[in-house]
Amino acid sequence: MIRNAVTGLILAGGQGRRMGGVDKGLQLLQGRPLIAWVLERLAPQVDEIFLSANQNLERYRSFGHPVLPDDVSGFAGPLAGLERGLALARNPLVATAPCDSPFLPSELVARLHQGLVQGDADLAVARTGEQPHPVFCLCKRSLHADLRAFLGNGGRKIDAWYAHLQVVEVAFDDMPDAFSNINTHAELKAHVDRAEAAKAASGKRSSGQ
């Protein structure tokens, strides 16, 4: 199984500006923190899990996985989290997912791995339609030195780092909603309402109504 060659990294190191500066990974969806939903989906696909976080570290440690603060100061973005994951992973591949996408695909890693191998690439990125999702990726641990140098030179943008790598995009057009993320309180409420409606509909079906 490929999970034995993959470290999972959940990116929860941002400031949550669009949600009023709250820690998005700890916001509740149906009574559970968003990061718990992501863990439930990603953990079965990988051999080990790291959590990238820069605040509420003890709360994140309570989920039972190592917590990695950025080595670059100032909330430098997802690449800073990935740098720590690549530095400390014990596996040759690292799969990333954001803490605010609770319905990520259960076959995310397997499909990214297939694309990585077939494309003989350094890094595989999920895509729906024409939209790539760069924080859903599978990359080689051997990229660590390159990423470290990029960050050391002031680089922060994912697409700028990807530009000089061999990158393959893997289509997930059959499940576009799986990559929806929650950036605002309104989006969180919409997900809560949707989940409650689905639960209510399921209850009616099971009762024969």
**pLDDT tens sequence across 129-169:** 999 999 999 999 999 999 999 999 999 999 899 999 999 99
Q: Inform me whether the pLDDT recorded for 205 exceeds 70.
A: no
Q: What's the confidence (pLDDT) of residue 76?
A: 78
CA–CA–CA angle 171, 183, 137 (5° rounding):
30
Residue 181 pLDDT: 82
What pLDDT does residue 202 have? 44
Domains contained in the chain, CATH given: 2-204 (3.90.550.10)
* Model confidence at 8: pLDDT above 60: yes
pLDDT recorded at residue 97:
97
Confidence of residue 22 (pLDDT cuts 50, 70, 90): confident
Q: Within the chain, where are the H helices?
A: 34-42, 57-61, 78-88, 108-118, 144-152, 158-162, 185-206
- Angle formed by the axes of helices 34-42 and 108-118, nearest 10°: 50
Whether 48 shows a pLDDT value over 50: the answer reads yes
pLDDT value at 38 more than 80: yes
pLDDT of the residue at 208? 60
Specify the higher pLDDT residue, 142 or 1: 142
pLDDT, position 199: 47
Query: Could you tell me the strand order of the sheet in which 123-128 lies?
Result: 67-68, 48-53, 6-12, 93-98, 131-140, 123-128, 167-171
With a cut of 60, say whether residue 127 has pLDDT above it: yes
Which tokens sit at 3? 């999970």
| Average confidence (pLDDT) over 79-93 | 97
Label residue 193 by pLDDT band (50, 70, 90): low
d(CA 133, CA 198): 26
Asked if 141 and 86 count as a contact pair (C-beta separation under 8 A), the reply is: yes
109 within 8 A of 46, measured Cβ to Cβ: yes
Task: Let me know: does 185 contact 19? Beta carbons within 8 Å.
Answer: yes
65 has pLDDT over 90: yes
CA distances from 8 to 11, 16, 73, 144, 159 (A): 10, 22, 23, 15, 21
